[in-house]
Structure 1
């Protein structure tokens, strides 16, 4: 028994098995070291989530190369393995075209970095906070605490808005005042409201735009800037304060009005007349 074992250890088969084992162990070590090195290099320019994905990709690619070398030492033909892998890839490609498209789109998203974890984005009618960025999909949490999964292919093909990419945001308030109002007075009242609101930034300053003459009102756009974390509070507080300031100054915010003329049916001895009737539509 001992002689047979010694004879086998001295054989070429044992030598190949030893080399294959060494290659496998070296593969685990090299793949681990390379993935950690890639992580240290990329951490300065990419988010933690993207770094983890790149580390996994490098680890498994290097490990696959060492496994292929180990199999070659054991006598497996790489051409046969590559051929089988090619056939399998084609079959999987036809079976999972959507997944492959999402995978490629995910790589583009990781390289482009249009958003990061914690950002608030809007895709179509969905707005939410980014929870994870994976190779196949992006997960969001909406403001009403719903979990939404968006395929990466949809993100690449559609328009996406990052609401928190920059440190400040502008709020545009569209409002109308009655034709009898003094535009200069309206401007001063709105500027005073913005000046007294602590969430409004002084730089960039507020913008007052007279948009033109509407059907029932003088149309105005009043734009103010705020830090992105204060945007929602500013939007709510500013509108409430402007309404109170308008009421105090006697400035009217009109509702749509329509003037309807009703024609009366004339008798043979009467002439046709019209009587103007004004109808207010509070909608």
Structure 2
């Protein structure tokens, strides 16, 4: 087989095909190396991991486009015509009103620039709750507690309210409990305070407190409020919930359940 003779129905020579494949393979390897080096270099700076991840993905996309253009050029096709064709396709997409790609890209830039969250933060955004896994060029990835990966377009992330549960170093733990009417409230509150002050992960500043939140139909509702480090939030909440129940039961303080008294009045015959 002559390497410089065009193949039938294809119009390119075996040499051009081999060169194109070599460019794609070498380009893929070089891109991986360059992006990896770039990423390691950024990690040595003070840039947040979220920004490092975004810039690495952006560089990767640019390099892959360059490799594809080189491969196309090796086939004997003018790069200028390819760029012109791509521009025409983009113009067609925009003409049909599908600007989501550019909107998501711009939103991704704003997210990484203003950083309403970092990688590893637990957030609620666009109605979804999870740990931030990555912010890409087009979308943001959240990982839920049950290990489900959720992908949200960046424009929805940037255009919605973002609740960040782990940005602050401390959080207040609130535990609601109801006691029966007639309960000695001073005693019930003191027991709750002792439980919170005795927990090793509850902070002394701000000081824990107990407040009466409602006089409900079947109970007087109390709320235990204790401050702890953000990473200890769920452990402290679970401990306090269990401790208040067990201690109240032991001390004879009734925790009533919702009930309704029905009085039947006999009608005269």
TM-score (norm 1): 0.67
1:47 lines up with 2:44 in the alignment: no
Contact preservation (8 Å) 2:57, 2:136: no
The DSSP-based 3-state class of the residue aligned with 1:140 is strand
Which residue matches 2:147?
145
Which residue of the other structure, out of 118, 121, 131, is the alignment partner of 2:120? 118
Which residue matches 1:158?
160
Structure with bigger RCO (C-alpha 8 Å, 6+ apart)? 2
Q: Which runs of 4+ in 1 moved over 4 A?
A: 39-42, 55-61, 80-88
> In 2, Cα distance between the equivalents of 1:57 and 1:250?
63
The DSSP-based 3-state class of the residue aligned with 1:261 is coil
C-alpha displacement of 1:265: 2.7
Which residue matches 1:211?
213
> In 1, Cα distance between the equivalents of 2:48 and 2:180?
52
Which residue matches 2:30?
none
5+ unaligned residues in a row in structure 1: which ranges?
A: 1-31, 68-75, 268-283
> In 2, Cα distance between the equivalents of 1:222 and 1:124?
30
State the superposition RMSD in angstroms.
Answer: 3.3
Describe the shift of the 1:41–1:227 C-alpha distance in structure 2 as closer, same or farther (beyond 3 A): closer
The DSSP-based 3-state class of the residue aligned with 1:246 is helix
C-alpha displacement of 1:87: 4.4
> In 2, Cα distance between the equivalents of 1:58 and 1:236?
44
1:132 lines up with 2:172 in the alignment: no
The DSSP-based 3-state class of the residue aligned with 1:144 is coil
5+ unaligned residues in a row in structure 2: which ranges?
A: 1-33, 70-77
Alignment of 1:34-73 (within 5 A): 43-44=45-46, 46-51=47-52, 53-54=54-55, 60=62
Describe the shift of the 1:240–1:229 C-alpha distance in structure 2 as closer, same or farther (beyond 3 A): same
Which residue matches 1:227?
229
> In 2, Cα distance between the equivalents of 1:53 and 1:167?
25
C-alpha displacement of 1:252: 0.7
- Deviations along 1:185-243, whole A, 9 cap, x unmatched? 11100011011111211111112111231111111111111111111111111111111
Which residue of the other structure, out of 257, 260, 263, is the alignment partner of 1:258? 260
Which residue matches 1:190?
192
C-alpha displacement of 1:92: 3.0
Describe the shift of the 1:219–1:53 C-alpha distance in structure 2 as closer, same or farther (beyond 3 A): closer
1:90 lines up with 2:88 in the alignment: no
TM-score (norm 2): 0.70
The DSSP-based 3-state class of the residue aligned with 2:108 is helix
Which residue of the other structure, out of 86, 106, 113, is the alignment partner of 2:108? 106
Residues 152-161 or 223-232, more deviating: 152-161
C-alpha displacement of 1:99: 2.1
Contact preservation (8 Å) 1:211, 1:219: yes
How many residue pairs end up in the alignment? 222
> In 2, Cα distance between the equivalents of 1:235 and 1:189?
17
